[in-house]
Amino acid sequence: MPGPGAYMISEEEKKALIEVIETGSLFRYGDKSDPKFLAKVWQLEQDVSKYLKIPYTVAVNSGTMALWIALGALGIGPGDEVIVPGYTFIASITSIIFARAVPVLAEIDESLTLDPEDVKRKITPRTRAIMLVHMLGNPGRIDEIKDISQKNDLYLVEDCAQAFGATYKGKKVGHFGDFGTYSFNIFKTITAGDGGMVGTKDKGLYERAFAIHDQGHLPLRQGVERGSRTVLGLDCRMTELAAAVLLAQLEKADGMKKMLKEKKKRFKEGISDIKGLSYRAIPDPEGELSTLLTLFLPDENTARKVGDELGCGVVADSGWHVYNNMEHVLEKKVVDSTGCPYTCPYYKDKGGSMEYSSGMLPKTDALIGRAINISIGVFDVGLGSGFGITVTSDNNEIDEKIEKFRKAVGKYI
């Protein structure tokens, strides 16, 4: 089921992991003069910074915490509104809630990322930030969204969890906002099972993010220090084990991107003559990761039939990637395992008047109701991509899947 990185795990990751285990130094901090301390987390931060061309990064334990840290470092808190798409993994929304701010759900457009026109409509005097999610391996409409954020004096956070290594106009995603955040969970470009990263060009923001990720400490601390810390933090640290695996995976990132691009091209060419299909808009086709091929059927009824035939359903059904399916975000009563009905308390907090309901984003619903995700490199039922190929599929397998797709579509259009 996983993403491309997981399929590429082999001797390099094993060697890196054993090397760390043999030293016994599994914690991110250590004595630099001790040869047994390999400083893998620190090295990962340096190498990812270089790869992304983003000067400051903090390695953390998940993409969710990376988002929460970014919001905290920007000082976003109670009563502040953050505009976020209704089509994204639930973590984008929950990170805002756990920053005690108010998520303001906005529409997506044919790119399946934030619709700039709706973002403009959703701005209020309480808005502090826009969270642009680069969904399904593709950069969103960065120029338009950045322009809106600048004109309205709003922070821009790029949620790059699904797009590590994707580029927009030649620059890696995460470069454009105040923060870029990344995930290294099992479905992502590179993986250590779990893990995340925060990236910024601003030294002050970096120091705040670092402090929040580790009990208020300053970067590069050696052991336990006391001093005049001004920031409270929690523990979102990455271990040396995860960093060792990720360093090996990072070496493979560009190669994977190339392989995915070739496989996607072959798949798309194999179905390009089918009338009635249209494709997701891609703001920068050069820079996409090619982890998925997303297409639109003419209407929802046809899309559902084709999705059922292929076993992947439509994108609207892809679990907690769609606001309509987030029963704990929509303000309706949920019965927990003890039989006790509850509503999440945060929504009444400060911002007060925000309401969430099923069907509140009709443009989004209409688009994802007739969209199908074909896996090129992320085979994930939860993402609606339970049909397709993987980064290791050969031409025979690709052609077989193309045939299967053609047959399914041929029955209905």
Query: DSSP for 7-30?
Result: HT-SHHHHHHHHHHHHHT--SS--
Of the candidates 20, 68, 87, 88, which one interacts with ligand PLP according to CB under 6 A? 88
Residue of this chain nearest to ligand PLP (CB atom)? 63
Residue 286: name the closest of 173, 145, 197 by CA. Answer: 173
122-181 positions binding ligand PLP, by CB under 6 A: 133, 159, 161-162
The minimum distance between CB 103 and ligand PLP, in angstroms, equals 13
302-321 positions binding ligand PLP, by CB under 6 A: none
The minimum distance between CB 71 and ligand PLP, in angstroms, equals 12
The minimum distance between CB 66 and ligand PLP, in angstroms, equals 7
**The amino acid at 28:** R
Judged by DSSP in three states, 387 sits in coil
Only segment of 57-65, 96-104, 137-145, 335-343 that touches ligand PLP (CB under 6 A): 57-65
Residue 167: name the closest of 199, 142, 190, 201 by CA. Answer: 142
- Does the footprint of ligand PLP cover residue 91 (CB under 6 A)? yes
- Does the footprint of ligand PLP cover residue 242 (CB under 6 A)? no
The minimum distance between CB 180 and ligand PLP, in angstroms, equals 12
- Does the footprint of ligand PLP cover residue 92 (CB under 6 A)? yes
Tokens of 194: 């779990």
365-404 positions binding ligand PLP, by CB under 6 A: none
- Does the footprint of ligand PLP cover residue 189 (CB under 6 A)? no
- Does the footprint of ligand PLP cover residue 291 (CB under 6 A)? no
Instruction: Using alpha carbons, list the distances in angstroms from residue 162 to 114, 401, 403.
Output: 15, 24, 28
How many chain residues touch ligand PLP (CB under 6 A)? 16
Of the candidates 68, 89, 206, 323, which one interacts with ligand PLP according to CB under 6 A? 89
The minimum distance between CB 257 and ligand PLP, in angstroms, equals 18
Residue 112: name the closest of 287, 372, 355, 386 by CA. Answer: 372
- Does the footprint of ligand PLP cover residue 293 (CB under 6 A)? no
Residue 173: name the closest of 212, 218, 137, 123 by CA. Answer: 137
Instruction: Using alpha carbons, list the distances in angstroms from residue 22 to 31, 195, 340, 411.
Output: 16, 22, 49, 58
Tally DSSP H helices, then E strands, for the chain: 13, 14
Residues in the chain: 413
Q: Which residue has the tokens 């031409």?
A: 395
Of the candidates 3, 13, 25, 64, which one interacts with ligand PLP according to CB under 6 A? 64
Residue 92: name the closest of 144, 135, 141, 142 by CA. Answer: 135
Residues that bind ligand PLP (CB under 6 A): 62-64, 88-89, 91-92, 133, 159, 161-162, 183, 185, 187, 194, 196
